[in-house]
Amino acid sequence: MSEESYENSDRFRGKKNIEIITIYIGYPINNNKRPIMPCKKDGAGDQHSVSCQWWKRYSGAAAVCLGLLCVLLLAGIIGLFLYQKNQLTSSNTLTEERDQLQTCGNNLTEERDQLQTSNNTLIRERDQLQNEIERLKQFLVEKVCPEGWKKLGSSCYYVSTEYKSWEKSRQDCRNRGAHLVVIKSQEQQTLVNWLCGRNNYVWIGLTDSVSEGTWKWVDDTPLTRNYWNSKEPNGGGAENCVYFYSWSADTGEWWDYYCYYKFRWICEK
């Protein structure tokens, strides 16, 4: 009987050991070196069931948080990548626009320089043409001044030997293809003084017969420079024509007088 009891005791101890080993292998061990009991559905071992459920909830929450952190980290990385890409694209675009503007500016500068060069060339050509025109004018004047006329500068002058009123003197110049002399500079004043001769009177092409007090030349240009005698003009509405009187070899003065009076005259063309 003792041997039978011993065998039963051994069998019992073997089963217990197997159960204990199974518990150790199937479930994790806590920090106190004690096994955490498995959850049971029949109400037995309530303390172990509560501990197991808390562990499951904690593990699930941790997994969810970790997943959210991963998603946020991935989203941040993607956003940073897209931001850097946009920045790089924007920088490249600005660089291209800057290069285009620089190229455009260089092209405009080249065009400006070309236009300046072209303008300078045109100015030189204009000056050359002007000189050529003046030379041709001088040449033509030398060739076309009629007999009895005097060539001075670029014009021909005719000094009459007859005496006529201002209107008839003007008409005589028209018949000759010219007009009564016009004086607009000191040089022309001196020239007419020389043509007139000392102590002589000649009609010139100045009148205010159209509008009293408004003196105009026969070529319809206004009076801009004058050489009146100190007391002239003083004739009012009666004296509307002007004659030239020579005092000396290099001076002369203007006088307004009655247009019907007869003087010599000078034609210019």
Domain final position from 106, 138, 158: 106
Q: What is the pLDDT along the chain (269 residues), one digit of tens a residue?
A: 444 444 444 444 444 444 444 444 444 444 444 554 444 444 445 555 556 666 667 677 778 888 888 888 888 888 888 888 788 887 788 888 888 888 888 889 988 999 999 899 999 999 989 888 887 776 665 567 888 898 888 889 999 999 999 999 999 999 999 999 999 999 999 999 999 888 889 999 999 988 888 999 999 898 988 999 888 898 778 899 999 998 776 788 999 999 999 999 999 99
Distance between CA atoms of 188 and 192, rounded to whole angstroms? 6
Q: Is residue 233 part of a domain?
A: yes
236 and 167, same structural domain?
A: yes
Question: In 3-state terms, what secondary structure has residue 202?
Answer: strand
Question: For residue 35, what is the DSSP state?
Answer: B
Q: Is the dihedral of CA 54, 59, 60, 62 positive or negative?
A: positive
Full-model pTM:
0.48
Q: Is residue 116 part of a domain?
A: no
What's the domain range around 184?
150-268
Domain final position from 42, 72, 106: 106
Distance between CA atoms of 60 and 54, rounded to whole angstroms? 10
Residue 161 sits in a domain of what CATH number?
Answer: 3.10.100.10
Q: Is residue 7 part of a domain?
A: no
154 and 87, same structural domain?
A: no
256 and 156, same structural domain?
A: yes
52 class by beta-carbon count within 10 Å (0-12 exposed, 13-18 middle, 19+ buried)? middle
Look at strands 201-207 and 264-268 and give their pairing.
parallel
> Among residues 204, 215, 214, 189, which one has the least CA distance to residue 242?
204
Domain final position from 45, 71, 106: 106
Q: Provide the H-helix boundaries in the chain.
A: 2-26, 46-144, 166-175, 186-196
